[in-house]
Chains A and B, each alone.
Chain A
C-alpha cells in the first residue's frame, strides 16, 4: 500500500531551494533513511511531508488522499514526527509529557483514562524511563529527553513515523535498541518510517531504502543495496570514503 507520496515536489527554505520537481514515495513495510550534507534541507523535507509547512508546489498524498484534506487530529493518528530537539518553557513531569501522545485519540472534554496511563507507563518502560515517570522534564539529560520524545511517538502509535535525527544524544546501546524497537513496531503495524540520519552506518543496519539529497535537482533514491555505494556517498559528502565489510556488517568510514 502507498502510505505517503510526494509528486513534483518543490520546496524552498527562504530563498534557497531544497528540492525542485522531485518525487518520493513510501510504501508499507519500507524503512527509509535520508542522508545529506548540513543545511541541504533534510528537516524542511520532513516537515513538509508531515504537513507542517507548505511546499511551493507539488502534491503530497497520505493513503491516496491529499495531505491537506486531513484535519490535524485525524492526521496525528496516522502520521507522527519526532523533532530534532524539544523545548520546555513550563514545568511538567515525564508522565504528563508522554500523555500528550494520546491527545489525538481523546475528545476535547475527555480525561486520560487508566488505560492511557498504563499505555504510557509501558512506553516509558520500553525506553527505560519508567523509574523517572514523576521527574520534571527539565531535570533530564539530553539522551533521556530523546528517549522521552520516542516514548511519545510510541503512545501516539502512528502508521507513518518521521524521525529527525532520532539517535541524537543517544548512547550506542540505546541507539540500537530504540531504532530496532521503532522499526519492529512499524513493521507490525504495516507502516513505514522515514528517518533523517547523520550516521551513514545506521542506514545498512536499519533501512530498506535510502534517499541521498545531493542538491535540489538531483536526488538519488532506491533500495539500500543499490544506492549505498562509496561512489554515491563520496559525491554526497564531497569527502573520500572507504567501505569495510566485517562479520556481515557493512561499514563506511571517512578517509
Chain B
C-alpha cells in the first residue's frame, strides 16, 4: 500500500493537498539547487538576489549562470519522469523508461555525428532532436506494418532499433579522435553543462501534461490491459497514439538538451507509485515535479562535489536514485509482510 494512502484514496481534496506539498518541495529544491555550485553562495544571498537586493557578483552567478541551468534542469527532469510514466503504461511494462524504444539512441548517434564533424552548441541539440524524431518515426512505422499494434510488438521493435543505435554509438566512439571522446562520453552519460534557458520547455511540458490529465482516468484503465480498458469505455487506439507521440515529444525535447540522463524516467514513476499510489491523476503531475526536483539537486551536486571540476549529471541521478529507491522498496515489502 502507498506510504501516504488514506482510507479513500481518490477524493479530490486529498489530491490538491498532495500537489501542494509536492509543489512546495519542488520550490525548495529549486532554491537549494541555486545555492549549489563552486562559488559559495548562502541561502540569504539567494533570497537577496531573488528579491533584487544583492551585490552584482552574486547576482551575475545566480541569474546568468545557475538560474538558466536550474530552470532547464527542472523541466528536463519533469519531462523524463513523465515520459517514463507514459511509456510504462503504453508498454504495460514496469521496466519501460523514456529511452526503451531507442529515442535516446537515435539522438545520441546524431549528436555524436555532429560532434565528430566539429559542430557545436545548438547544432548538436538540433541533430539530437532530428535523431530522436527519426527513431520515433522508424519504430512507429515498423510496428504499424500489418494492422495490429500491441505493446509487445512496439517493445520488441523499439528494443531492436535501440540495439542498432548502440552498435552505431560504439562504432563512433571507436573511430573518433581521443580529444573528442570526453565531450562524447559526457553527452552519453547526460550532462546539463551547456544548457540554455528556453521558453519552449514549459510550453512543451504544459502541452503534454494538460491533455494527459484529461486522459488520466483512461490511462488508469489502460494500465490494466487493452481489452479491459476498451470494455469499460476507453477508445484504446486513440489513447495509445496520444501516449506514443506525447512521450516521444517529451523524450526528444529532454534528450536534445541534456543528453541521455538515465534513471529519472525509470525510477521517479515507481517512487511516486510507492508514495502516492498508481492513479495517473496524481502520478503524472507529481512525477513531473519530483523528476524536476531530483534532477536539479543531482545537477547541483554534479557541479559542487569535485568543484571546480564538473561531473556528468547522469552519474549523480543514479547515485542518488539507486539508494533512495531501494530503501523505499524495502519499506514497502516490509509493510506488506506485516
Complex CA distance for A183 and B224, rounded to whole angstroms: 26
Chain A residues near B230: list those with CB within 8 A.
Answer: 52, 72
Contact B273 A90 (CB under 8 A): yes
Chain B residues near A117: list those with CB within 8 A.
Answer: 8, 10-11
| Given A87-B225, A100-B220, A108-B215: A93 touches B9 (CB 8 Å cut-off) | yes
Complex CA distance for A103 and B215, rounded to whole angstroms: 12
Contact B220 A134 (CB under 8 A): no
Complex CA distance for A191 and B214, rounded to whole angstroms: 32
Contact B232 A100 (CB under 8 A): yes
Decide yes or no whether B7 CB sits under 8 A from chain A. Answer: yes
Decide yes or no whether B336 CB sits under 8 A from chain A. Answer: yes
Decide yes or no whether A136 CB sits under 8 A from chain B. Answer: yes
Decide yes or no whether A106 CB sits under 8 A from chain B. Answer: yes
Interface locus among A73-81, A207-215, A227-235, A236-244? A73-81
Decide yes or no whether B278 CB sits under 8 A from chain A. Answer: yes
Decide yes or no whether A88 CB sits under 8 A from chain B. Answer: yes
| Given A100-B224, A108-B215, A136-B336: A95 touches B8 (CB 8 Å cut-off) | yes
Contact B221 A100 (CB under 8 A): yes
Contact B233 A104 (CB under 8 A): yes
Decide yes or no whether A101 CB sits under 8 A from chain B. Answer: yes
Chain B residues near A100: list those with CB within 8 A.
Answer: 220-221, 224, 232
Complex CA distance for A108 and B89, rounded to whole angstroms: 18
Interface residues of B in 200-228 (CB under 8 A from A): 214-215, 217-218, 220-221, 223-225, 227-228
| Given A75-B233, A108-B215: A89 touches B93 (CB 8 Å cut-off) | yes
Decide yes or no whether B117 CB sits under 8 A from chain A. Answer: no
Chain A residues near B9: list those with CB within 8 A.
Answer: 93, 95-96
Decide yes or no whether B198 CB sits under 8 A from chain A. Answer: no
A195 to chain B, nearest CB (A): 15
Q: Identify which of B1, B10, B225, B235 contacts A99 (C-beta below 8 A).
A: B10
Contact A72 B1 (CB under 8 A): no
Interface residues of A in 110-146 (CB under 8 A from B): 111-112, 114, 117, 134-136, 139
Contact B227 A83 (CB under 8 A): yes
**Binary per-residue interface labels of chain A (13-37) against chain B in the complex, 1 for a CB within 8 Å, 0 otherwise:** 0000000000000000000000000
Q: Which of A52, A80, A89, A152 neighbours the largest number of chain B CB atoms within 10 Å of its CB?
A: A89
Decide yes or no whether A218 CB sits under 8 A from chain B. Answer: no
> A105: nearest residue on chain B (CB-CB)?
B233
Q: Identify which of A47, A91, A92, A104 contacts B232 (C-beta below 8 A).
A: A104
> B280: nearest residue on chain A (CB-CB)?
A90
Q: Identify which of A75, A90, A139 contacts B223 (C-beta below 8 A).
A: A90
Complex CA distance for A152 and B228, rounded to whole angstroms: 11
Contact B228 A156 (CB under 8 A): no
A97 to chain B, nearest CB (A): 8
**Binary per-residue interface labels of chain A (174-213) against chain B in the complex, 1 for a CB within 8 Å, 0 otherwise:** 0000000000000000000000000000000000000000
Interface residues of B in 59-95 (CB under 8 A from A): 88-89, 92-94
**Binary per-residue interface labels of chain B (1-40) against chain A in the complex, 1 for a CB within 8 Å, 0 otherwise:** 1100101111110010000000000000000000000000
Decide yes or no whether B321 CB sits under 8 A from chain A. Answer: no
Contact A103 B234 (CB under 8 A): yes
Complex CA distance for A76 and B93, rounded to whole angstroms: 26
Contact A89 B1 (CB under 8 A): no
Decide yes or no whether B126 CB sits under 8 A from chain A. Answer: no
Contact B12 A76 (CB under 8 A): no
Contact A108 B214 (CB under 8 A): yes
B231 to chain A, nearest CB (A): 5
Complex CA distance for A2 and B236, rounded to whole angstroms: 28
Contact B336 A72 (CB under 8 A): no
Contact B232 A90 (CB under 8 A): no
Decide yes or no whether B279 CB sits under 8 A from chain A. Answer: yes
**Binary per-residue interface labels of chain A (32-54) against chain B in the complex, 1 for a CB within 8 Å, 0 otherwise:** 00000000000000010010100
Complex CA distance for A17 and B128, rounded to whole angstroms: 49
Chain B residues near A108: list those with CB within 8 A.
Answer: 214-215, 217-218
Complex CA distance for A124 and B231, rounded to whole angstroms: 20
| Given A136-B1, A139-B336: A92 touches B228 (CB 8 Å cut-off) | no
Using a CB–CB distance below 8 Å, which chain B residues touch chain A?
A: 1-2, 5, 7-12, 15, 88-89, 92-94, 214-215, 217-218, 220-221, 223-225, 227-228, 230-236, 273, 277-279, 336
A-B interface, 9 closest residue pairs, ranked by CB to CB distance from nearest: A76-B233, A104-B233, A73-B233, A111-B12, A90-B278, A81-B231, A108-B214, A103-B232, A72-B233
A-B contact pairs, 30 of them (CB 8 A): A50-B231, A52-B230, A72-B235, A72-B236, A73-B235, A81-B231, A83-B227, A86-B228, A87-B224, A89-B93, A89-B94, A89-B224, A90-B273, A92-B223, A93-B277, A95-B9, A96-B277, A96-B278, A96-B279, A100-B224, A103-B217, A103-B218, A103-B232, A103-B234, A108-B217, A109-B214, A117-B10, A134-B1, A136-B1, A139-B336
Using a CB–CB distance below 8 Å, which chain A residues touch chain B?
A: 47, 50, 52, 71-77, 80-81, 83, 86-93, 95-97, 99-101, 103-104, 106, 108-109, 111-112, 114, 117, 134-136, 139, 152, 156
